Structures are given as C-alpha cells and as structure tokens.
Structure 1
Amino acid sequence: MPTKTERFISTVTALARVGVGLSFAVLIGAVLIQVVGRSLGSSPVWTEELTRFALLFLIAFGAGLSLRTGDMVNVDIVCEVLPGRWPWRLRLVSALATGGLALYLLPHAWRFVSIGRMQSSPALGLTMSYVHLTVFLMLALLALFAALRVLGMLTGTEDGTPEKAEEI
C-alpha cells in the first residue's frame, strides 16, 4: 500500500501530465486550424497567439516532470563515476540548488504576473496575467518536484536518480 507521500507524488505527477496533455492538445488544435485555414485562403489571427500560449503552458507543466524523469540536462557522466556517496551528495546538492533558485524567483515571477493585469493580448484579448502565470507555474512546479526529490533522498525512499519515463 502506497504511503501518503507516494500518493501525493503520484497525484502531483498525474496533474502535471494532464496539464501537459491539455496544453499539447490545444497546441495541436491551434496549429491544425492554422494549416487548414491557410490552405483555404487565410487562417484566423488568434491561432498564432494561442499556439504561443499553449507552448508556454506545455513548458510550465513539463519542466517539473522532466526534472523527475531525468529529461533535463544532466551532467551525471561526471558525478556518477565518483567514489562512494559522492554521486548521491551531488544529486542532493543539485536538487537543493534547483529548488532554492526556483523558490527565490517565485516572488519575482508573481510580480511579473501582476504586471500582466494591465496588459491584454492583441488577438485573443486575454489578460496577460494568465499568460505570465506560466512562469510562476513553471517555477512552482520545479521547486515542488525538487523538494520531493530532496525529501525522498533524505528519507531513503529514493536515491535521487531520475525515474525513467514509463514506456507506452
């Protein structure tokens, strides 16, 4: 039976995956409308903007997941050849640094979100706070996934190596 921590990690991971999936679906839909529209003469102006916004949300939801699965840039070729517990220590320091930097940047990202209330996107007329929220969301999810890695390493439930993405 999974622990509360494992259920929490599974829930957060599942929600981030749903966010990636929805963002990707919107991106695909907008591009499809663009392509079909251009082949018929002209595509709606708003599809260009929606494509950019969907890509931003895709990145915001996917950054934390890529930290979890190891799809971010790693330098493990250097640290994994070190003796003893040094690879574990370096993975811990890396997770702490990633989480710490993300947490440090969160208030500044929130200020960026609040500035967006005074702006709107030209084609969709969307308040830019919703678009700027992607930066805050990305940093929050990075901090959360880094904190979960640190917690798992310190409690011994994981060794800090990225979990492999499930094969489909």
Structure 2
Amino acid sequence: MAHLIDWMRSLLRLGTGVSFLVLIAAVTVQVIGRSFIGSSPVWTEELTRFALLYLAGFGTALALWSGDLVNVDLVSEGLPGRWSWLMRFASAVLVLIFCALLIMPAWRYTAIGAMQTSPAMGLRMNWAHGSVLLLLAMLGIAALLRVIGMMTGTTDGRPENLLGDVE
C-alpha cells in the first residue's frame, strides 16, 4: 500500500511540476513579449490557462494527502475518542463518492471537446477538458487509497503535514 501511494505521489508531483514549468515558460514569454517587443504571442494566454487546469488536476490529490485542502480540523480533531477518525473516514468516503458520481459526466465533457479546437493554438479541446477528468480521477484515487489505508490500519487518515507539526 505504501509503495502504491509513493508511486502515485511521484506521478502527481511530476505532473504538477511539468504543468508548473509550462506555466512559467508561457508567462515568461508573455512578460518578455509585452515588455520588450510590445505584444506577446496570442497562444501564451491559452497555454497559461491549460497549464493552470492541469496544475489543479495533478495537484489536488497531493493537497488531499498533505492536508492543504480545506479541512475542518478544529472540529474533527477536537472530538473525543474515535469520533475524529470517523469524521476523517466519512470525509474520504464522501470525496470518493463525489468523484465517482462525476467521472462519467466529466468523460462526456471531455469527449465533447474532441469536436472543438482552441482558437489560438488549434489544440483539440478534449486536451483542456481532460484536466477536469484528470482532477476527478486523481482525487478519487487518493480518497480511495485513504479509505483503504484507514480500513486496513496502515493510516489514521490524518494529513501528512498538519499546520504546526514539527518535523
């Protein structure tokens, strides 16, 4: 289980890093173009948007594991006994259900994009729309791994990096 989570974390970090590098490159071209040439290429606007979408698509599952998603830790962690574990478990199950319910609509949304192209880059829009499918799939897998880990006792479901934790 830990090996699978480590492998997925590496994949998500790579995807997040590549998305961020593309974003940095596109914005750099925009800034240089506007500062020194007077205008920037039109495709940089679209590429920036697409990179941001993929950054969210890859980064959301990482944020679930690290505790960087919005949590109500003040409530759940202050509960007595096993209640905090039950709230974390219920939260992971609800995220999993939410993602599972939205996968098919996201698939249809992505498929519709195959019939459209972006105006500046001429890229088929299913590549942009696929970022929503990616986000739901990765977040769903992360929630599923958390649920399995909590059920098997390999994790207590707490985020890896709680604010204030000393490492």
> What percent of counterpart residues are identical?
54
1:74 is paired with a residue whose SS is coil
Alignment partner, residue 18 of structure 1: 14
User: 2:155 and 2:3 mapped to 1: Cα distance?
Assistant: 15
Mapping 1:150-165, distance limit 5 Å:
150-164=147-161
RMSD: 1.2
Alignment of 1:23-42 (within 5 A): 23-39=19-35, 40-42=37-39
Q: How far is 1:79 from its partner?
A: 1.3
Deviation at 1:57, TM superposition (A): 0.3
TM-score w.r.t. the length of structure 2 is 0.95
Name 1:6's counterpart in structure 2. Answer: 2
Secondary structure of 2:39's counterpart equals: coil
Distance 1:151 1:164 in 2: 20
Q: What per-residue deviation string (whole Å, max 9, x for no partner) do you get for residues 106-126 of structure 1?
A: 000000001001100000000
Q: Determine helix, strand or coil for the equivalent of 1:122.
A: coil
Deviations 1:74-117 (A, max 9, x none): 00101111111000000000000001100110000000001001
- For structure 2, list consecutive stretches of 5 or more residues without a partner in the other structure: none
Runs of 4+ in 1 over 3 A off after TM superposition: none
TM-score, normalised via structure 1 length: 0.94
Q: How many residues align?
A: 162
